[in-house]
Amino acid sequence: MRKVEVCSYSEKWPAMFLEEVEKLKLIYGDEIIAIHHIGSTSVPGLKAKPIIDIMPVVRDINNVDKYNQEMQEIGYKPKGENGIPGRRYFQKGGDKRSHHVHIYQVGSYEIKRHLAFRDYLQRHPDVKNRYGELKDKLAQQFPYDIQSYINGKERLAREIEIKALDWYKNNRNNFANTDNNG
């Protein structure tokens, strides 16, 4: 059974992201347009489950499945769309999950949604701290119930997402993405 663990931000997370980026570039090559660090581990100072979320953006999502064997060889389990149409999802680490890869085709709305959420939290410390504290509390309350943990943070996450998308639409040209490694 997987334990829900939320911990303080680790300075190791950006390096862990970059290490996987190099592996993904070797596998997907020119299919990749960009690779972004997303999720809570991409927000300095945010409490998070210690799982690195990686979002490659590809030219054609239909070509991704051709690389499933190579992804398995570097420790990833292919999960297909896994509930989100147009995505290819991979997990690494089994019950001690360490990485998630969410691949989208260029132009997917999901790309903007993930980047807006990340960038909004990076620039709004009060919201980041509120979100981190809620996640910490839920992990303590539901240490072996990931669904209750997810359900518990859903309302706040959706509230942040709505604000983030509006903010992103109005501000995205005012800052540069620092993790675009495509």
Per-residue pLDDT tens digits for 81-130: 999 999 999 999 988 899 999 999 999 999 999 999 999 999 999 999 99
Please give the angle made by the CA atoms of 71, 14 and 143, to the nearest 5 degrees: 80
H/E stretch holding 44 reads none
CATH of 13-174, one of 3.40.640.10, 3.40.50.150, 3.30.460.10, 3.90.950.10: 3.30.460.10
pLDDT for the residue 182 = 41
Mean pLDDT of the chain: 94
pLDDT of residue 181: 47
- Report phi then psi at 37, rounded to 5: -85, 120
Q: Tell me if residue 99 falls in helix, strand or coil.
A: strand
Asked if the model's pLDDT at residue 178 lies above 50, the reply is no
- Judged against a pLDDT cut of 90, whether residue 166 lies above it is answered with yes
CB 121 within 8 A of CB 128: yes
Q: What is the pTM of this model?
A: 0.93
Q: Is the pLDDT of residue 60 over 70?
A: yes
pLDDT reported for residue 174: 64
Alpha helices by DSSP H, listed for 29-77, are 68-73
Residue 180 clears pLDDT 70, i.e. is over it: no
